[in-house]
Amino acid sequence: MSITQSSASLFTTATEEKEGAFSARYSLWIKEALDELPHSFTITDPFISGHPIVFASPGFLKMTGYSREEVIGRNGRAFQGPKTNRRSIMEIREAIREERPVQVSILNYRKSGSPFWMLFHMIPVFGNDDGRVIHFVAVQVPISGRKMRNGSGCSEMVFGSCRREVCLGSYVHQERALPVECDEQELENWEHCEASESEKLKSVEAVGNVLSVLTRYSEFAGRLVCGKRSCLRVADCLSSSLVISLGRIKQSFVLTNPCLPDMPVVYASDAFLTLTGYKRHEVLGQNCRFLSGVDTDSSVLYEMKECILKGKPCTVQILNYSNRKDKSTFWNLLHISPVRNASGKTAYFVGVQMEASCKDIESKELRPETRQLSVVGAVRVAVRSSFMVTC
Amino acid sequence: MLKIKRVPTVVSNYQKDESADESVGCGRNCLGACCINGARLPLYACKKLDKSGVGEKPVAFLESLVLGEWEDRFQRGLFRYDVTACETKVIPGKYGFVAQLNEGRHLKKRPTEFRVDKVLQSFDGNKFNFTKVGQEELLFQFEAGEDGEVQFFPCMPLDAENSPSVVAINVSPIEYGHVLLIPRVLDCLPQRIDHKSLLLALHMAAEAANPYFRLGYNSLGAFATINHLHFQAYYLAMPFPLEKAPSKKMVTTASGVKISELLSYPVRSLLFEGGSSMQDLSDTVSDACVCLQNNNIPFNILIADCGRQIFLMPQCYAEKQALGEVSPEVLETQVNPAVWEISGHMVLKRKEDYEGASEENAWRLLAEASLSEERFKEVNALIFEAIGCSYQEEELEGTVVEQDNPSGSVNQKSNRTHGGPITNGTASECLVLQ
């Protein structure tokens, strides 16, 4: 199932890119080592916009019927469907937001569209050096038992199988029911499907195995990961939940931290990197002045600095220098504004870039000014809520 | 005549006490006949078909519109205070109640009279209503569209003939992005649920496509402040305690709507979800609300999970308050249990309340608003009859019901049933001085 063809399809390239990003964190042969595990599991990266799957085990692909290319880059919600319990979806979402483990039974759908119940067990994986969540590992254990917590039909099932045992004149230890032929409609209508103790133990074992491989290969790479956060997150590093929220915003923007020396960039959106032609690692930790150049008007820079000191929003038109192939300059209609967190104090400044040539109004779209402000608003909501995470 | 001092929440910069007279040509650029000619707003008409999308996606168009316009008014200084400068925290505990210290929300203390004992009251044009807000407080028009696609018109005239519905800012926001959805604003509907309006609210929740954007509704008697039909909405990127409460299914209606009751939550509530269409879900809840309104039972509604879940909370706090039955410590906080408070988001006026906020305190306060178990059962019976489905409470063996209640029994003074229909008009006029 490995991608060896040198196909020029965009799809394959995107998959390779994401898998490459995953492998980069660990030493060589990490994928092969993970491929050897028998379990069904996926690994996701919260620092990529959309929180996509960056690794899917052969067991997962077999269970769901998808190919690797169809899975890499998708968010885990893609396997949920209309009858998936909303409460379970919320539990998983909240565990991600709070960067903690979760184990929940949930209804998922295969590629064929057929539903199945499984025990979903997810854990965060932390970087040892900076304390942030590097990945989430999610293990899926199919539930074949037929125990249900509440709702009708529970007693019928139990009686049915017991009666059969009695008729056959033999006693079968009923830890889990025989495979019951029930149609998919019934499966979807179950309120809940409790996993057996052995299934729960399986999930714990699987999670442990995956974590062992990741730990070992991260150690080789000199950038250890572990299942427990070993240090408080460093100041210029955002929580994964904040990053996930910011990843929903498709426009170009950065967050800078005014409390750190020289007010460095602590977040840059994908669109910013595309606009400016820089790579993320070139930008993080730097002050935004790398975008200015010889012909950038210094009085505009002064105006920005004044607004930042006063803690006021401002919009300026500034000449920026890109790192794109042609090293072109562009006029940037830049809006900056202080952003407060849950303490009520300013935690960041947001800078929203808009290439001046994009100012033409399309009649069926939001005005560019509104779109620019909507980025500020979305950032405010994300930042204010991210600090209210319970531990 | 019973009187209680209460402090109103100002939702518009033009909200005054009703003694101000309506001068001709008011010059305030409002929505009255004096100013409406030439009024223009963006119009957002949402998809007709039900959405079956999954979870959070990239920021949706409607979300950008709400946030972008809100930020614009924010930077223009139209709000009474910067809500993001108000300290907020999650109270440690099982449910994670959210507390905010906001000393500026309830500043005006001019008394206004507002009957708290009648859920249905006629619209009074002399009192403050949303035709009196300045047009700059309006963000856009919002309609349930006819097409299969979203339609957006950046600058559409406000035409009374079309009975436009609008989204406005709440100038005393609880959180960033706090807006008001005002169905058919120029029709001057009183604060009561009707089928069309609730469906519009559901559409908005679905279009926003963000489970952290909820809509809420307060009936009269359940701390609605203005008798002009409106819903409220804002963003809070975490679950409300109400959304986390476990639930037990009671019935499924003929149209597939599942009705559950919440377990181990301080306010006894119903949860409606499912249905073969958004309309089915909406109509079922509307029928329930109409029943409550006709029986003079105050209630709140929370629309959550992108319109897939609707919580219905009947309450009796105002009546208890008028009869002097609320405990003094709870009264002192001056927190009125409206929809957001019941959902678990508490705005506290005093620093000591904020510093000392605990799950027990929050629970105790909300429990005062809840109907007793007995009364809740009576009310449910009324609702089920109105919806046209029967419910027999089952005595399931071994059904474990969690009673994890930190403050002990939910309703210490529960011998008396509260919140019943007030049949004798002359004997029990309850006025609340605002």
- The domains found in chain B, sorted by start residue, are 38-51+59-387 (3.30.428.70)
Q: Tell whether A22 and A65 lie within a shared domain.
A: yes
Q: How far is B90 from B92, CA to CA, in rounded Å? A: 6
Is residue A261 a part of any domain in this protein? Answer: yes
Are residues B152 and A366, on separate chains, in Cβ contact within 8 Å? yes
The continuous run of DSSP H or E covering B179 comes out as strand B179-182
Three-state SS at B385: helix
Residue of A nearest to B238 (CA): A385
Q: Which two tokens stand for residue B404?
A: 């994890």
Q: How far is B270 from B250, CA to CA, in rounded Å? A: 9
Is residue A265 a part of any domain in this protein? Answer: yes
Contact B377, B350 (CB under 8 A): no
Q: Tell whether A123 and A263 lie within a shared domain.
A: no
Cα A33 to chain centroid distance, Å, stands at 23
Which residues from A are below 8 Å from B57, CB to CB?
A: 248
Are residues A90 and B305, on separate chains, in Cβ contact within 8 Å? yes
Which residues from B are below 8 Å from A250, CB to CB?
A: 58-59
Nearest to A108 by CA among A188, A37, A1, A30: A188
Provide the pLDDT for residue B159.
86
Q: Tell whether A214 and A323 lie within a shared domain.
A: no
Are residues B71 and A382, on separate chains, in Cβ contact within 8 Å? no
Residue of A nearest to B396 (CA): A150
- Chain A interface test: which of B50, B51, B64 (most A C-beta within 10 Å): B64
Are residues B177 and A248, on separate chains, in Cβ contact within 8 Å? no
Q: Which two tokens stand for residue A178?
A: 């025989």
Q: Is B410 left (phi over 0), alpha (psi -120 to 50) or beta?
A: alpha
Cα B1 to chain centroid distance, Å, stands at 28
Q: Which two tokens stand for residue B118?
A: 């009648």
| Minimal C-alpha gap between B201 and chain A (Å) | 20
Catalytically annotated residues of B: 230
Q: How far is A115 from A69, CA to CA, in rounded Å? A: 21
Provide the pLDDT for residue A264.
95
Alpha carbon of A258 to those of A314, A345, B108, B203, B432: distances in Å? 16, 11, 36, 40, 48
Strand B138-144 versus strand B151-157 pairing type? unpaired
Report the complex ipTM. Answer: 0.84
Contact A122, A88 (CB under 8 A): no
Q: Distance from first CA to last CA of chain B, Å, rounded?
A: 15
Q: Tell whether A204 and A60 lie within a shared domain.
A: yes
Is residue A182 a part of any domain in this protein? Answer: no
Q: Tell whether A67 and A109 lie within a shared domain.
A: yes
Q: Tell whether A68 and A136 lie within a shared domain.
A: yes
Nearest to B310 by CA among B358, B345, B274, B341: B274
Range of the domain at A57: 8-145+194-226
Q: How far is B160 from B186, CA to CA, in rounded Å? A: 7
Which residues from B are below 8 Å from A384, CB to CB?
A: 84, 88, 175-176, 237
| Minimal C-alpha gap between B400 and chain A (Å) | 10
A77, A377, A388: residue with CB nearest B71: A377
Residue of A nearest to B89 (CA): A388
Is residue A322 a part of any domain in this protein? Answer: yes
Are residues A388 and B75, on separate chains, in Cβ contact within 8 Å? no
Nearest to A157 by CA among A143, A146, A142: A146
Residue of A nearest to B398 (CA): A150
Provide the pLDDT for residue B160.
84
Provide the pLDDT for residue B162.
87
Which residues from B are below 8 Å from A344, CB to CB?
A: 84-88
Three-state SS at B135: helix
Is residue A153 a part of any domain in this protein? Answer: no
Are residues A385 and B308, on separate chains, in Cβ contact within 8 Å? no
Provide the pLDDT for residue B393.
66
Q: Tell whether A265 and A116 lie within a shared domain.
A: no
Residue of A nearest to B42 (CA): A366
Is residue A35 a part of any domain in this protein? Answer: yes
Provide the pLDDT for residue B428.
34
Residue of B nearest to A80 (CA): B54
Contact B153, B167 (CB under 8 A): no
Which residues from A are below 8 Å from B52, CB to CB?
A: 82
pLDDT tens for chain A, residues 1 to 391? 333 333 334 556 667 777 777 877 787 789 999 999 999 999 999 999 899 999 999 999 999 999 999 999 999 999 998 889 999 999 999 999 999 999 999 999 999 999 999 999 999 999 888 888 999 999 999 998 555 544 433 333 333 333 333 333 333 333 344 344 456 677 887 878 888 999 999 999 999 999 999 999 888 777 777 888 877 766 667 888 899 999 999 999 999 999 999 999 999 999 999 999 999 999 999 999 999 999 999 999 999 999 999 999 999 999 999 998 888 999 999 999 999 999 999 999 999 999 987 655 555 678 889 999 999 999 999 999 886 544 3
Q: Tell whether A216 and A312 lie within a shared domain.
A: no
Chain B, 122-161: which have a CB under 8 Å from a chain A CB? Answer: 151-152, 154
Q: Is B223 left (phi over 0), alpha (psi -120 to 50) or beta?
A: left
A130 φ, ψ (degrees, to nearest 5): -115, 0
According to DSSP, residue A100 is labeled -
Chain B, 255-294: which have a CB under 8 Å from a chain A CB? Answer: 273
Three-state SS at A348: strand
Strand A225-226 versus strand B2-5 pairing type? unpaired
Q: How far is B228 from B211, CA to CA, in rounded Å? A: 27
Provide the pLDDT for residue B120.
94
Q: Tell whether A199 and A298 lie within a shared domain.
A: no
Asked if B78 is an interface residue toward chain A (Cβ–Cβ < 8 A), one would say: no
Which residues from A are below 8 Å from B236, CB to CB?
A: 385
Q: Distance from first CA to last CA of chain A, Å, rounded?
A: 40
Q: How far is B159 from A15, CA to CA, in rounded Å? A: 51
According to DSSP, residue A122 is labeled E
Are residues B211 and A93, on separate chains, in Cβ contact within 8 Å? yes
Are residues B90 and A389, on separate chains, in Cβ contact within 8 Å? yes
Count interface pairs A-B at CB distance under 8 A.
137
Which residues from A are below 8 Å from B89, CB to CB?
A: 342, 388
Are residues A373 and B67, on separate chains, in Cβ contact within 8 Å? yes
* Strand extents, DSSP E, A144-209: none
The continuous run of DSSP H or E covering B206 comes out as helix B195-208
* Strand extents, DSSP E, B219-352: 231-235, 247-252, 257-262, 270-274, 299-304, 309-314, 345-348
Provide the pLDDT for residue A82.
84
Provide the pLDDT for residue A225.
79
Three-state SS at B125: coil
Provide the pLDDT for residue B111.
40
| Minimal C-alpha gap between A47 and chain B (Å) | 15
Are residues A388 and B238, on separate chains, in Cβ contact within 8 Å? yes
CATH label of the domain that carries residue A212: 3.30.450.20
B61, B68, B273: residue with CB nearest A86: B273
**Helix B61-75 vs helix A368-386: crossing angle, to nearest 10:** 90
Specify the residue for token string 């972008």: B68
Is residue A174 a part of any domain in this protein? Answer: no
Name B384's Cβ contacts closer than 8 Å, sequence gap at least 6. Answer: B251, B390, B391
Strand A102-109 versus strand A115-127 pairing type? antiparallel
Are residues B68 and A370, on separate chains, in Cβ contact within 8 Å? yes
Q: Tell whether A255 and A332 lie within a shared domain.
A: yes
Residue of B nearest to A384 (CA): B84
Q: Tell whether A217 and A248 lie within a shared domain.
A: no
Provide the pLDDT for residue B71.
97
Are residues A380 and B84, on separate chains, in Cβ contact within 8 Å? yes
A90, A245, A339: residue with CB nearest B237: A245
Read off the pLDDT of residues A17-69 as tens digits, 9 standing for 90 and up. 777 778 777 877 899 999 999 999 999 999 998 999 999 999 999 999 999 99
Specify the residue for token string 């399931």: B396
Is residue A300 a part of any domain in this protein? Answer: yes
Nearest to A39 by CA among A112, A119, A94: A119
| Minimal C-alpha gap between A27 and chain B (Å) | 33
Structurally, chain A folds into a number of domains equal to: 2
Q: Which two tokens stand for residue A267?
A: 């977040």
Q: How far is A45 from A72, CA to CA, in rounded Å? A: 11
pTM above 0.90, yes or no: no
Name A328's Cβ contacts closer than 8 Å, sequence gap at least 6. Answer: A322
Are residues B87 and A342, on separate chains, in Cβ contact within 8 Å? yes
- Chain A interface test: which of B75, B236, B281, B351 (most A C-beta within 10 Å): B75
Strand A253-256 versus strand A346-352 pairing type? antiparallel
Contact B221, B117 (CB under 8 A): yes
Q: Tell whether A29 and A100 lie within a shared domain.
A: yes
Three-state SS at A338: strand
Query: Which positions of chain B have pLDDT values less than 50?
Result: 1-4, 17-24, 50-56, 109-113, 395-434
According to DSSP, residue B149 is labeled S
